[in-house]
């Protein structure tokens, strides 16, 4: 069955968050995830995630969700 287009993006951003978040660096981790998406992701991927987060956002980790919001605010 074909996955929905945001499925991989959610997995990717959660993975980034999981790899940059430590015990006590909540804000820094959000910055890092947002920066990573800005630096390496095509705008179409970011836009799709913005839209998904605003619509539903199910499956996004806390850090990932906040990073998506931050990136949308800063864009």
Partner 1 sequence: MLGIYKPGTDYGTPERVSDKQVSLIIDDTEVSVPEGTSVMRAAEIAGISVPRLCATDSLEPFGSCRLCAVEIEGRRGTPASCTTPAEDGMRVTTQNGKLAKLRRNIMELYISDHPLDCLTCPSNGNCELQDMAGAVGLREVRYGFDGENHLAAEKDSSNPYFTFDPSKCIVCSRCVRACEEVQGTFALTIEGRGFGSKVSAGVSGENFLESDCVSCGACVQACPTATLIENEVIKHGQPDRAVVTTCAYCGVGCSFRAELKGDTVVRMVPDKNGQANHGHSCVKGRFAFGYATHPDRVTEPMIRDSIHEPWKRVSWDEAFSFAAARLKEIQAKYGRNSIGGITSSRCTNEETYLVQKMIRAAFGNNNTDTCARVCHSPTGYGLKTTLGESAGTQTFDSVFKADTILVIGANPTDAHPVFGSALRRRLRQGAKLIVADPRSIDLLNTPHLGEHYHLQLRPGSNVALINSLAHAVLSEGLEDQDFIGKRTENYQQWREFILDPVNSPEQLEAVTGVSADLVRRAARAYAGVPNGAIYYGLGVTEHSQGSTTVMGIANLALATGNIGREGVGVNPLRGQNNVQGSCDMGSFPHELPGYQHVADDSVRSAFEKVWKVKLDHEPGLRIPNMFDAAVHGEFRGLYVQGEDIAHSDPNTQHVQAALGAMECLIVQDIFLNETAKFAHVFLPGTTFLEKDGTFTNAERRINRVRKAIAPLPGLQDWEVTQRLSSALGYEMNYRHPSEIMDEIAALTPTFSNVSYELLEEKGSIQWPCNEAHPAGSPIMHVDDFPIGKAHFALTPFVPTEERANRRFPLLLTTGRILSQYNVGAQTRRTANQVWHDEDVLEIHPHDAEERGIKDGDWLGISSRAGDTVLRARVAERMQPGVVYTTFHHPFSGANVVTTDNSDWATNCPEYKVTAVQVQKVTSLSDWQRDHHVFSQRQQAFLDAAMGDEPVARR
Q: Which residues bind partner 1 (CB under 8 A)?
A: 2, 5, 8, 12, 15-16, 18-19, 22, 36, 39-45
Q: Is the CB of 16 or the CB of 34 nearer to partner 1?
A: 16
For residue 39, how many other CB atoms are within 10 A of its CB?
7
The answer to whether the CB of 33 falls within 8 A of the CB of 64 is yes
Q: Is the CB of 2 or the CB of 74 nearer to partner 1?
A: 2
* Minimum CB distance to partner 1, residue 52 (Å): 13
Distance of CA 21 to the CA centre of its chain: 13
């Amino acid at each position: 069955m074909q996955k929905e287009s945001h499925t991989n993006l959610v997995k990717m951003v959660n993975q980034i968050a999981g790899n940059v978040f430590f015990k006590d660096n909540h804000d820094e981790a959000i910055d890092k995830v947002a920066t990573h998406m800005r630096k390496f992701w095509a705008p179409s991927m970011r836009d799709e995630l913005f839209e998904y987060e605003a619509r539903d956002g199910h499956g996004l980790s806390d850090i990932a969700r906040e990073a998506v919001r931050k990136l949308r605010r800063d864009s």
